[in-house]
Amino acid sequence: MPADPSRRFWRRPATMPARGELTRTGDVRLATALLVAIIAAILPLLRVVAAGTWLVVAVTVAAAVLLVGIGLRRLRTPAVVVTLTELVAAGALVTAVYFGDTALLLVIPTPGTFAEVPSLVAGASDQIINGIAPLSAERPLSALAVTGVAALTVLLDHTVITARMPVLAAIALVAVWLIPALSVPSAVDLVGFVVFAAAVLLLIRAETRSRERALARSVAAAEKPRGEAASAARPRRAGAVLAAGLAVTAIVATVIVVPELPRPAPRIGVGTGPATTINASLELGDDLRRPTDVEVLTTRTNAPSMPYLRAATLSRFDGRVWEPDRDETTPLTPEALGPVVADPDIRVTEYQTTVSITQLSSAWLPVPGPAVRVDDLSGAWEAMPSNRTVIAGDAVTQGQEYVTTTHVVRPTLEQIQAAGTTIDGLPETVSELPAEMPASIERTAREVTATAENDFDRLAALQRWFRSGEFTYSLDAPVSDGFDGSGVDAIADFLEVRSGYCVHFASAFAVMARTLGMPSRIVVGYLPGTLTGRVADGESVATVLSSQLHAWPEVYFAGIGWVPFEPTNSLGTPATYTRSTQPLPDDGGQDVPPAPAPQQTATVAPDGVPTPTPTASTGTGAGAGTSPLSLVLPYGGVALGFAALVLLPALLGAALRRWQATAAERGDVLAAWRIVRESARDVGLRVDDAESPRALGIRLAAVPTVPADRIEALVAAVERASYGVPGSERDAEIGRAAASDALAVRRGLLASVSTPRRIGAVLLPRALVHA
DSSP codes, 389-443: EEEEEE---TT-EEEEEEEEEE--HHHHHHH-B--TTS-GGGT---SS--HHHHH
- Quick one: which H or E segment has residue 166? helix 166-183
- The answer to whether the Cα torsion of 129, 131, 132, 136 is positive or negative is negative
Omega prior to 370 cis, within 30 of 0: yes
Please provide the DSSP assignment of 248-280 as one string.
HHHHHHHHHHGGGSPPSSPPPPSSSS--SS---
Pair 204, 167: CB distance under 8 Å: yes
Please state, in angstroms and rounded to a whole number, the distance separating the CA atoms of residues 766 and 771: 6
Please state, in angstroms and rounded to a whole number, the distance separating the CA atoms of residues 407 and 594: 9
Please state, in angstroms and rounded to a whole number, the distance separating the CA atoms of residues 4 and 721: 11
357 burial type by CB count under 10 A (0-12 exposed, 13-18 middle, 19+ buried): buried
Phi first, then psi, for residue 435 (nearest 5°) are: -65, -40
Q: How many residues comprise the chain?
A: 771
* Contacts (Cβ under 8 Å, ≥6 apart) of 179: 44, 45, 48
Mean pLDDT by 10-residue block, N- to C-terminus, for the chain (771 residues)?
A: 41 45 63 90 83 89 91 84 90 90 86 85 71 72 89 88 80 81 63 85 81 60 46 42 45 44 40 58 54 84 92 90 86 92 92 93 90 93 92 84 95 94 92 92 95 95 95 73 70 90 91 96 92 90 90 95 94 89 78 68 44 36 41 55 71 85 86 88 82 87 89 87 65 83 89 83 71 43
Please state, in angstroms and rounded to a whole number, the distance separating the CA atoms of residues 44 and 48: 8
pLDDT for 182 equals 65
Query: How large is the angle between the packed helices 669-682 and 693-701, nearest 10 degrees?
Result: 50
Pair 274, 265: CB distance under 8 Å: no
DSSP 335: T
Please state, in angstroms and rounded to a whole number, the distance separating the CA atoms of residues 532 and 356: 14
Please state, in angstroms and rounded to a whole number, the distance separating the CA atoms of residues 268 and 431: 27
* Contacts (Cβ under 8 Å, ≥6 apart) of 40: 173, 177, 192, 195, 196, 198, 199, 200
Please provide the DSSP assignment of 127-152 as one string.
HHHH--SSBP--HHHHHHHHHHHHHH
Please state, in angstroms and rounded to a whole number, the distance separating the CA atoms of residues 255 and 190: 10
- Letter for the amino acid at 235? P
Structure pTM?
A: 0.52
Neighbours of 25 (CB within 10 A): 22
pLDDT for 643 equals 66
- Quick one: which H or E segment has residue 562? strand 561-564
pLDDT for 483 equals 57
Nearest residue to 354 via CA among 300, 410, 399, 275:
300
101 burial type by CB count under 10 A (0-12 exposed, 13-18 middle, 19+ buried): exposed
Ordered domains of the chain (ranges, CATH)? 10-260 (no CATH), 285-578 (3.10.620.30), 632-768 (no CATH)
CA angle 123, 124, 127 (to 5 degrees): 90
Which residues, in sequence order, are bridge partners of residue 316?
323
Query: How large is the angle between the packed helices 27-42 and 190-221, nearest 10 degrees?
Result: 170
HSE-up of residue 644 (Cα within 13 Å, Cβ side): 6
Query: How large is the angle between the packed helices 628-665 and 111-130, nearest 10 degrees?
Result: 80
- The answer to whether the Cα torsion of 469, 473, 477, 480 is positive or negative is positive
Please provide the DSSP assignment of 621-652 as one string.
STTSS--HHHHHHHHHHHHHHHHHHHHHHHHH
3-class DSSP assignment, residue 572: coil
Nearest residue to 335 via CA among 393, 370, 385, 379:
385
Q: β-strand 610-612 against 389-394: which pairing, if any?
A: unpaired
Pair 649, 723: CB distance under 8 Å: no
CA angle 283, 551, 312 (to 5 degrees): 85
Please state, in angstroms and rounded to a whole number, the distance separating the CA atoms of residues 441 and 222: 82
Phi first, then psi, for residue 712 (nearest 5°) are: -65, -45
- The answer to whether the Cα torsion of 389, 395, 398, 401 is positive or negative is negative
Nearest residue to 440 via CA among 488, 487, 477, 481:
488
Nearest residue to 299 via CA among 524, 537, 522:
537
Please state, in angstroms and rounded to a whole number, the distance separating the CA atoms of residues 237 and 161: 18
* Contacts (Cβ under 8 Å, ≥6 apart) of 478: 285, 484, 490, 493, 494, 497, 499, 500, 501, 504
Neighbours of 629 (CB within 10 A): 8
* Contacts (Cβ under 8 Å, ≥6 apart) of 321: 132, 281, 282, 283, 485, 486, 487
Phi first, then psi, for residue 180 (nearest 5°) are: -60, -35
